[in-house]
Each structure stands twice: as C-alpha cells, then as structure tokens.
Amino acid sequence: MTDTKWLVHKFGGTSVADADCFRRVADILLAGPPRQAVVVSAMAKMTDALLNLVTGAEKSSASIAPGLEALKTRYRAAAMALLPVAASAPVLESFDRDVADARDVLQAVSLVRSAADRSRDLIAGFGELWSSRLLAAFLAERCRAESRDMPIRWIDARELIVVEHGELGPAVQWEVSQTNARRLFAGMPRGIAVVTGFIASDQAGLYTTLGRNGSDYSSSIVGALLDASEIVIWTDVDGVMSADPNRVPEAAIIRDLTYNEAMELAYFGAKVIHPQTMTPAVLRSIPIYIKNTFNPSAPGSRIGPPVPGSGTASDQIKGVTSVDDVALVNLEGTGMIGVPGTADRLFGALRNAGISVILISQASSEHSICFAVPARHAAQVEQVVRQAFTLELQQGQIQSVDVKTGCSIIAVVGDGMAGLPGVAAKFFGTLGNAGINVRAIAQGSSERNISAVIDRQESTRALRAAHSGFYLSAKTISVGLVGPGNVGATLLQQLAEQAGRLTREFGLDLRVRAIATSSEMLLTERAIDLGRWREAFEAGRQPLDWARFERHVKADHLPHAALVDCSASQAVADRYIDWFRAGIHVITPNKKAHSGSQAGYDRLFAEARAHNASFLYETTVGAALPVIGTLRDLNQTGDEIISIEGILSGTLAYLFNVYDGRRPFSEIVVEARDKGYTEPDPRDDLSGMDFARKLIILAREMGLRLEPRDVQVESLVPHGLEAGSVADFLAALPRFDAGVQARLDAARRDGKILRYVGRLSRSGGATVRLEALPADHAFAHMNLTDNIVRFESRRYSANPLVVQGPGAGPAVTAAGVFADLLRLAAYLGPAR
Ligand code: ADP
Ligand code: ASP
Ligand code: MG
C-alpha cells in the first residue's frame, strides 16, 4: 500500500501570535488528515523585534539586554500558558541557549558597530526556531493529554532546505534538499512534522534566510519536496482579496486564481503571499489554498493551474495592488534615438550594482527611457546611471537623468484581461475621474498586468478608485441624507423596501452611509441597514461636523456621491456650493437654494456645471408631480412657453375648494390645520411666500430672470397679524371673515369662483394672488389638496397642457426624491 500524500500547512506570524493562537493552530492540525507537515513563522512582530535588536546593537550595546528581556517575557508567557512544567522545561532551555547565543552575536555587532549579513540572518532566524519548537511541544502535549497516537517531529529547515543566493533571490538546490528531505521525513507514514519557516542553509552550510515574509516560500519548497497534495497558507484574512483590505474597504475574496495571477499580485505588493511561493508549487502543479486561522470554515482562495472553461468575461481583473515607495527614473536624450544598445547598457549597469528594476517603459520614439526602482536605491541609481553615461551626458546626447522619489506603482492584475478591449481605458478612466496624475505606464505583453506610476500620497485613493471601477457597479452611489424628518424618514423606508430589487434588476447600488439632523450625525463605512436606521442612529450618533460629513459621503472608494437634503433649511441650502465643488450631486425637495436672489441662483448652477455635479429638485414644485420635468422637456424640444398658471399650494387649494360661504373662512383654516394640511403656523401658507418661491423656480426654469421682489404676492394674512403666536393669530382670524366673505359674494355675483392662483408669463409679470375665475375654469373642479399647473406654449396654445394631482405629503414627496435619485443613477452610466 502506498502512503497517503502529505498535506503541507504554513501558519503566518499573526496565526501564532500568542498562546490562544497556538491552541487554534493545534485544533486545526489535530482535526486534519493523518500525514501533515506544518511550516511555522515567527510569532507576530518577532522578526521585526530581532532585526531591531541588530540595528540597535549597531549603535550601542545598551539596547541589547532590555530587548532580549522583552522577548523572553513574551515567549515564556506563551510557553507557560501552553505547557505543563515538565514539558516546558526543555523548550525553555533551548530558548535560553539561543538567547545566550544571540546576546554574544549582538555584543559582537555592537563592538564592530556594523552587522554582517550572516549575523543579521542568524538573529532574524531565531523567531522561527522558537515558535516551531513551542508548537511541536504543544502538539505532543495535546496528543499525550488526549491519548492520541500521533507522532510529532520537529525539523530545523536549516538541515533541510539548501539555497544559493543569486540575482533573482534564493534558488533552491533541489537535489541536496531532496536528499535531506528523504532523511528527515523518513519513517513518517503518519504524524505531524513541524518545520521552521524562513530559514535555510547555503551551499557552504552556513545559515541564511529566504527574505522577509519568506515562510510562504518555505512552505511551498516543503510542499514540492514532499510532493504534497496541497499547500494551505493560514493567515489572518479569509483569502487573497481583490485589494489590501486595510486600504480598500470594499475588497472581496478572490475564490480562484491562477499561479500567474497570484504571482503578479504578490510581486506587485499583495503581502498576503510571497511572490516566490509559487515556483516550487507550479513545478509540481500543487494547489495552494489561502485560509484564515481565525475563521477556518471559510472556503478561502485557491491558487492553481488555470482551470479550462472557468472564469467569465466579466472577471476582467482579479485584483488591484500597489508597490509603495518607489522612485521613477527618467533618462532623456535625443542621442538615444536609433542607437542600439542604450537600454542594454543602462540595465546592465543597474544589474551590476545589484538593483532590481520594478517597471520599465520606453516610448517608441526612443527619446526617453523611464523605469522604477525601490525608493531606497534612488540615490545609488542616479549615481550608477550618471556614471554609465558620463560621456553622453557631457556631450549632450543625453540631456537629463531625472529621479523622482515619493512615487507608487499601482497595478491591476488578471489573466482575463488578455484580449479584452477596454480594460486599460477603464483603469485610466477611473484614475482620471479621481483626479490622479499618471506619470508612467507599463503593460507586459502577457496582458496580465497594467501598471501606472503615481504620486505616493495618492496611492490609497488610486487603489480605491481603480478597485471601485472594476468591482462595483458603475451605479454605486454613496448617499448622505440630511433631515430624517417626515419626508426623509419616508424616503429611507422606501429605499429600504426597494434597494434589493434595484440592485438585482438595474445594478443600482445606493449606499446610505451618512445621516445628519440639525445637530447630530451618523457616519458608517458600510451602508446603513435602512430597516433599522433609527437604532443605528441612536447607537452611533455624534455631534454634527459638516466638513467630516461631506468628506465621508464623498468616499474615494465609491464611484459617486450624492447628498439628499430633506430639510427645509436655508443653512443646509447654503452648503450646496461646497458640495458641488467636492463633486457631490445634490437632490432635494428644499426650495431655499434656488428660489432666492438671481445672482445666488446663477452662482449655484455655475458651480454645479463646473464640477459636473447634478442638482435635482423636481420635488420643490408640486412634490412628485412632473412639473419641472415637463417644463424642461418642452423647452429642450424647442417649444416656447408663453405662460404658466397654477395652484401650487395644497393648503390654499384646500381652503378655497372647501370654502363656499356657508361656514366662516377662519373655521376652515382651523379645520385644515387640525387635519395636518397646513404648516404648524398656517401663516406660512397663507402668506403666499412658499407658493411664490415655487413660481420663481418655474420662472427660472423657463429662462426668465427675476428677483423674489419681482413677484407680486397677495398675502392672506390680515394686516396686524403677521407677528405674534399661532394661538393669538387663530383667535383673531374670525375678525377678518367678513372681508373674505365679501370677496366671495362679489365673485359669485359675476358667476365666478375664488381661487388662490399663481401666474407667470413670458412677457413679464409674476403674480400670486386670490382671483375670481369663471365657474367652468379648469381650476374649479379639483380634488381637495391637489396641485394643478397649466402650461400654455406655442405647441399647446389652444388647449394647454395640464399636470394635476396630489402635490404634497411625505409619501409622494419622498417618492419624488427617490425618482430623482434614480434619474441621477441613469445619468451616471450604464449598469455593469
Ligand atoms: P502572515 O503573518 O500570516 O504571513 P501577512 O501580514 O504577511 O500575514 O499577510 C496578510 C496580510 O496581507 C493581511 O492581513 C492583509 O492586511 C494584507 N494584504 C495585502 N494585500 C492583500 C490582498 N490582496 N489580499 C489579502 N490580504 C492582503
Ligand atoms: N518571520 C519572517 C518575517 O517576518 C518570515 C515570515 O513570517 O514569513 O519576515
Ligand atoms: Mg506573510
């Protein structure tokens, strides 16, 4: 019978950070198959701490003792928590011996004031020795305590993996390593072998390391040596994600990647896996899984050979990454044109200096060559290049060597983009929309990667913008709501009910991420659960800060931002210009911003246009009735509006629909107020001012320019009652009933009716007043609070166009705002 295959695991530093972590790891291993090898990193931050000790010792010996003491405390605490005294004694003895060795080496370093690479490697590698010994002892202890018959073996990778350091990093010497493996893993048809990560030997038998984050590489070397069935890399995230989740909140798990995709992502900065990890696994087609130690049941990511037929065309890219801290070098000169060998000399010189180049781009004119290197090499690179081209620089064939530090490379990666047009356009389009300047571009002919060099400070914004361009619906809108009162709260409820359907059917992803009242706000990274927004607001509210509110809504990682102002506040309206300048679209039923002075109106619209921001306010006239939309359609299709007349106040419509002289007018006002048809202070309606604002909005929509004082308004608030309490006003109102009655009687004598009407005409004139109209006039037969507007135009002259229906109330107003939000989404681009 042949032995079952090995399963190889690797646990990263965060997975073995403390005693609890070791318990989790043991649980995973003890539930695994019978034959496992487990490669272990140093406890989290241990390698950093050890390397800091070396750097510290180069300066002075004073830091050595306290530094080692801190490591001791941490390690002892973990060992004592995990092991009974008898089992911890041998582990702590080895540890103390290592610490004594480390102290000697560090003392030596501090004497010479400089650490040789060998000393640095030796010290750095202790972390893996310590964590793996502790894990092996703990597994043995668990098996003993649980009476499992499971052999546990500890293996020092310095006796196993032999490498040779070359230009491309450490290269495994497979033959000797294979011989070592046969010896070290012999006689283990079952059991768990615990192997140190990160460390190895060179051909001379000296200790070395595989480079920072090298334990991933160790695991795939061990996987190849053991011809494992699979390699599982355990870390602290659920898998390879479409971007670094610390920087892009929207990042999502990538379930399947090819080796090449993973390599490209890793090379371009996705720290979750080390770039060199892939090679040994590829040689034997061993799949690599990335899984979360803290969430082991999550499926994780699978990295393997391409699976034929898998993946869809919509998987244009797999991920977005960045390499930060690079320098961009530009070599420019007319002397390079048509001269063969320039690039060869350039990169030859860099190779001789041991500098690896991350990205190269040369325009076809050969007038300049531009390349990126790690920023820490910037000064050296400049020197090397100047030296290599001394003559050309002196003679002017090369005019400049320009080194710009403070750059980042951002790259989109995916096999799927090969042969798919439009990926580059989308990538650079998203960067452009986010206002990010691209300094250099490179695309490999594999078409697996497109990279752009940008400013370092912009790299997180660039990652977010590119990620959202590929991963989110083009109709993802970050929404902030101001004023969750009647209309606002109803809107949130309507959104809660419709959101799922809108996403499914139209790819529309409306994310309400901020809510503000007049004094408080709630800001959330993800969308607020709108079914429970009140609870969320209660739990997360904080004092209102407009600047933060605005910045939050205009999130870099979401393609669009909109603010919905459901307040009636002038102070909020005064902020629109700032919002437009930030590129935020505004939707509102609030009339204040665009019914004031003409100059203010002009400024508002100029700013919106200048910043490509939409301003949608259909609900400011007649709630959801299509009044402004109709007017615009007429205008834009070349019709000319001659006049508009209408009843644009539900309150005033109601009062005169009901008032027939049998009951006094004041009584009807009180009744309307009790039914909730008026503002809390009925004078706000009776004054006609609100109505006048609507008329101003319509007039400007028609193209007329006018100031609020140009509208002649007849106020129905009797002289002398303008100020004072509502109660006093209502008490005094009956005194004026006789006056209204007289107007009604006079109208009736002429066979007419009374209506409070607004009129606008192209030839000038805007009035809002109580009028006597013919009894057969369209305005005579209306439902209680309905609004009505008649447009007379060149096309609709003999028979005017009429829009009529309920023009107030939270449900219809909110629905109108909702419709504006959908209109905005329609402008913003097609669904993906
Ligand atoms: P370990 O200690 O397990 O080796 P690392 O810290 O080296 O873990 O790598 C895991 C981290 O890599 C994650 O916590 C995450 O912050 C970061 N990371 C960067 N890019 C990505 C990505 N594309 N997918 C997943 N994680 C990423
Ligand atoms: N401990 C090493 C490092 O921090 C190797 C690893 O964890 O992969 O670089
Ligand atoms: Mg790592």
Give yes or no for residue 688 CB within 6 A of ligand 2: no
CA of 379 to the centre of ligand 1 (A): 30
Region 247-276 average pLDDT: 90
Give yes or no for residue 132 CB within 6 A of ligand 2: no
Reduced to 3 states (helix: H, G, I; strand: E, B; else coil), residue 242 is coil
Q: Which residue(s) pair with 152 in the sheet?
A: 192
What pLDDT was estimated at residue 312? Answer: 43
User: Which protein residue has the closest C-alpha to ligand 1 atom 12?
Assistant: 272
DSSP annotation string for 171-229 = EE-HHHHHHHHHHHTTT-SSEEEEEESSEEEETTS-EEE--TTTHHHHHHHHHHHTT-S
pLDDT tens per residue, range 443-460: 866 678 899 999 999 999
Taking 90 as the threshold, does the pLDDT of residue 468 lie above it? no
Tell which residue, 55, 2, 671, 24, has the closest CA to residue 294.
Answer: 24
Taking 70 as the threshold, does the pLDDT of residue 310 lie above it? no
Give yes or no for residue 47 CB within 6 A of ligand 2: yes
Distance CA 222, CA 178 (A): 10
Atom of ligand 2 nearest to the CA of 12: 7
CA of 277 to the centre of ligand 2 (A): 13
Q: Which of 232, 272, 276, 289 to probe ligand 1 with, by most ligand atoms within 8 A of CB? A: 272
Atom of ligand 1 nearest to the CA of 242: 23
Residues with catalytic roles: 694
Mean of per-residue pLDDT scores for the chain:
92
pLDDT band for 415, please (50, 70, 90 cuts).
confident
CA of 54 to the centre of ligand 3 (A): 21
pLDDT band for 362, please (50, 70, 90 cuts).
confident
Region 60-69 average pLDDT: 95
Whether residue 219 contacts residue 8, with contact meaning beta carbons closer than 8 Å, is answered with yes
User: Which bound ligand lies closest to the C-alpha atom of 322?
Assistant: 1
What pLDDT was estimated at residue 315? Answer: 67
Question: What single-letter amino acid sits at 249?
Answer: P
Taking 50 as the threshold, does the pLDDT of residue 402 lie above it? yes
Residues with CB under 6 A from ligand 1: 12-15, 41, 213, 235-237, 240-241, 243-246, 270-272, 319
CA of 246 to the centre of ligand 1 (A): 9
Q: Using alpha carbons, list the distances in angstroms from residue 565 to 511, 572, 573, 679, 780.
A: 16, 8, 8, 19, 35
Taking 70 as the threshold, does the pLDDT of residue 624 lie above it? yes
Annotate 603-639 with b (16+ C-beta within 10 A) or e (fewer). ebeebbeeeebbbbbbbbbbbbbbbbbbbeebeeeeb
pLDDT tens per residue, range 772-813: 999 999 898 888 889 999 999 999 998 999 999 988 888 999
Taking 70 as the threshold, does the pLDDT of residue 582 lie above it? yes
Distance CA 563, CA 606 (A): 18
User: Which protein residue has the closest C-alpha to ligand 1 atom 1?
Assistant: 12
Atom of ligand 2 nearest to the CA of 214: 8
Q: Which of 51, 215, 222, 234 to probe ligand 2 with, by most ligand atoms within 8 A of CB? A: 215
CA of 129 to the centre of ligand 2 (A): 12
CA of 331 to the centre of ligand 2 (A): 36
Tell which residue, 664, 647, 679, 670, has the closest CA to residue 770.
Answer: 647
Give yes or no for residue 213 CB within 6 A of ligand 2: yes
Give yes or no for residue 212 CB within 6 A of ligand 2: yes
User: Which protein residue has the closest C-alpha to ligand 1 atom 4?
Assistant: 12
Distance CA 168, CA 749 (A): 103
CA of 272 to the centre of ligand 3 (A): 5
Whether residue 143 contacts residue 180, with contact meaning beta carbons closer than 8 Å, is answered with no
pLDDT tens per residue, range 154-198: 999 999 999 999 877 899 999 999 999 999 999 999 999 999 999
Burial of 316 (0-12, 13-18, 19+ CB in 10 A): middle
Give yes or no for residue 125 CB within 6 A of ligand 2: no
User: Which bound ligand lies closest to the C-alpha atom of 12?
Assistant: 1
Question: What single-letter amino acid sits at 697?
Answer: I
Taking 90 as the threshold, does the pLDDT of residue 575 lie above it? yes
pLDDT tens per residue, range 109-166: 999 999 899 999 999 999 999 999 999 999 999 999 999 999 999 999 999 999 999 8
User: Which bound ligand lies closest to the C-alpha atom of 219?
Assistant: 2
Give yes or no for residue 42 CB within 6 A of ligand 2: yes
- Residue 296 has which token pair? 């082991």
Give yes or no for residue 41 CB within 6 A of ligand 2: yes
User: Which bound ligand lies closest to the C-alpha atom of 47?
Assistant: 2
What pLDDT was estimated at residue 249? Answer: 83
User: Which protein residue has the closest C-alpha to ligand 1 atom 10?
Assistant: 272
Largest CA distance in the chain: 119
What pLDDT was estimated at residue 832? Answer: 40
Atom of ligand 2 nearest to the CA of 128: 1
What pLDDT was estimated at residue 105? Answer: 96
Q: Using a CB cutoff of 8 Å and minimum separation of 24, what contacts does 722-730 make? A: 722/683, 722/687, 726/680, 726/681, 726/682, 726/683, 729/681, 729/682, 729/683, 730/666, 730/669, 730/670, 730/673, 730/682
What pLDDT was estimated at residue 309? Answer: 60
Distance CA 83, CA 22 (A): 11
Q: Which residue(s) pair with 159 in the sheet?
A: none
What pLDDT was estimated at residue 829? Answer: 65
pLDDT tens per residue, range 473-526: 778 899 999 999 999 999 999 999 998 898 888 888 899 999 999 999 999 988
Give yes or no for residue 214 CB within 6 A of ligand 2: yes
User: Which protein residue has the closest C-alpha to ligand 2 atom 8?
Assistant: 213
Percent of the chain with pLDDT over 70: 97
Whether residue 231 contacts residue 77, with contact meaning beta carbons closer than 8 Å, is answered with no
Give yes or no for residue 127 CB within 6 A of ligand 2: yes
Taking 90 as the threshold, does the pLDDT of residue 307 lie above it? no
Taking 80 as the threshold, does the pLDDT of residue 256 lie above it? yes
CA of 145 to the centre of ligand 1 (A): 34
pLDDT band for 313, please (50, 70, 90 cuts).
very low
Give yes or no for residue 197 CB within 6 A of ligand 2: yes
What pLDDT was estimated at residue 425? Answer: 87
User: What is the distance of C-alpha 814 from the center of its chain?
Assistant: 28
CA of 13 to the centre of ligand 3 (A): 7
Region 78-98 average pLDDT: 97
What pLDDT was estimated at residue 503? Answer: 86
User: Which bound ligand lies closest to the C-alpha atom of 253?
Assistant: 1
Taking 80 as the threshold, does the pLDDT of residue 13 lie above it? yes
User: What is the distance of C-alpha 19 from the center of its chain?
Assistant: 35
Taking 80 as the threshold, does the pLDDT of residue 262 lie above it? yes
CA of 527 to the centre of ligand 3 (A): 31
Taking 90 as the threshold, does the pLDDT of residue 269 lie above it? no
Atom of ligand 1 nearest to the CA of 270: 20
Taking 90 as the threshold, does the pLDDT of residue 343 lie above it? no
Tell which residue, 208, 280, 291, has the closest CA to residue 253.
Answer: 291
Region 392-421 average pLDDT: 89
Please provide residue 687's backbone torsions phi and psi, each rounded to the nearest 5 degrees.
-70, -20
What pLDDT was estimated at residue 445? Answer: 60
Distance CA 342, CA 334 (A): 12
**Which of the pair, 5 or 680, is modelled with greater confidence?**
5
- Residue 476 has which token pair? 């993802």
